[in-house]
Chain A
Amino acid sequence: MSTKKELGGWLLASPYLLSAILFFLIPLGWSLSLVFFDWNVISPVRTYVGLGNFREALTSTRVFKAFVNTYKFMGIIVPGVIVASLGLALLVQHLPRGKQFYAVGFFLPYLASGVAVSLVVRGILSYDSAFNEFLRSVFGSSPRWLRDPFWATLVISAMIIWKLSGYYALIFLAGLQGIPRELYEAAALDGAGPLTQFRKITVPLLYPAFYTVLVLSVGLCFGIFTEPYVLTGGGPRFATHTWQLEIYSQAFERFRAGYGATVAVLNAVITFGSILIIRRVVESWGRRLGFR
């Protein structure tokens, strides 16, 4: 009986296990084997370079820019996406009717093609767009949205915030719906205003949602690709260069599979480390709130 049960369990888990082996473990092992070689995947000559790829990556200006830019994006995207998604969740929560309809509506940007959205944004921000014509008529000039390092960073961050807010709002909305109404009623009887209720009840009890959104959004900052690829090519002057752009450029434009794999491994290690630090910080906040 027990063996039958075990077999059934393995059978049910097998599609996941198989896909994990095929699409995760084998590619991971392949990547790890590549990092010690200078190889373009087709040449019969595979040059062993030891830790040479790591030395090159750790002293590369391009990798350094990708590293710095990721935290720059994180500094804008993480707070931005939390404020926007929490705001949306609160808005939907307080709607008298049609909550599901609006929640799904806000989720739609998450499903939109990154390339299509980037092309629309490019049109909106083009020099002769109605938006820029308006800015020039009011302020006398319009920003060089995609050609100035400051504005380009901001535009890409705003696009990602817009894309993710609806999705993360669903996580916050689920958290909000789990907070008992009685707590707010009791607080109101004690004289707590809406702001105090928000600070003392809503925010602490949304800790699990904050935790999830923070970890997801931090991880996402290490995977930014489509928006800078389509809009800026990583420029101007590497201002919007990212880890994924660097991996793509090395592996698929320069055909340096070994070095590309090395950058990917570094990216994975730094992503893992960053998420670990964020988790520790958020968990210490959670412990103070009584969550374990």
Chain B
Amino acid sequence: MSEPLLEVRDLSMTIGGRRRRRTILRDVSLRLDAGRTLGLVGESGSGKSMTARSILRLLPAGARTEGTVRFDGASLPDLSPAQLRRVRAHEIAMVFQDPRAHVNPVRTIGDFLTEALVLNDGVAAAEARDRARAGLADVGLSEPDRRLDQHPHELSGGMLQRVMIAAALLARPRLLLADEPTTALDVTTQSEVMAIVDELRRELGTAMLFITHDLELAAAVCDELAVMYAGEIVERAPAAQLVSSPRHPYTAALLAARPSVERRRARMATVGGRPIAAYEAGSGCSFAPRCPHAEERCRTAQALRPLGTAEVRCCRAEELETAAAERGEEAVR
């Protein structure tokens, strides 16, 4: 097997002071090949954003991590600040949920887009501006010339997010970390923005780690999906398969909980309780307290183990699947 572009192995993370350390991530492992897309899906507190941030070492104060993060063979935690800056400038780009919080409100869009090119790559100002203009046209912004001289407040959220995407892809990175890039946008704008990301990413051969709470959106744009719960990956599988036949009860519950545009259901909720964070989890399966299928042996720690083309962190995965098949329906759904 060839070397993956990104490989995270047994990544754990704790935050807090000496007295009260809190676990945020537990043994997160994932791999992403060049040009491929992986969706990291979960609810609040699942650790999906922290996973992405810890790759670029954008960590909250007092955070401690263990485990390996390798990008193109190099261990990211071991890089010097200068090397890390170079990786951020050229290799790995990030797009955040709230574009307005990540852009200087008093600089123009043009300044924002060209700054990195001029400073990092020594590109001449005029050429940088040409490239910025082309980037804006690529993300479907009308009148790119006028946009370059506008300020962030003159653009709507959807337009600004497109600017962020243009900025992220301007350096032709090999990996894009997209952290809920469309969550703050209207659904029609979301469709547009995701289409643009997908198209440009393919053209440039950029791999993407897509972080979202929306399982169906992730399934539509990713090759593979990993579902996180309480700081752990509970299931990983090819996207289509994960959505059509989930193996972990939590994945099934997430799918069932999303109301469908196509039909009304008699009841929505299949699990009670609320999603928990890693530090609230006990020693056994972290989903067991909410799981309708939990039994005695779920009280012991569960490992992420291979199951067909998937990996699942549930000791009952096979039986549940068989039971569902016997009833002639999809697992637990």
Q: Do A and B bind each other?
A: no
- B residues contacting A by CB (< 8 A) are none
- A residues contacting B by CB (< 8 A) are none
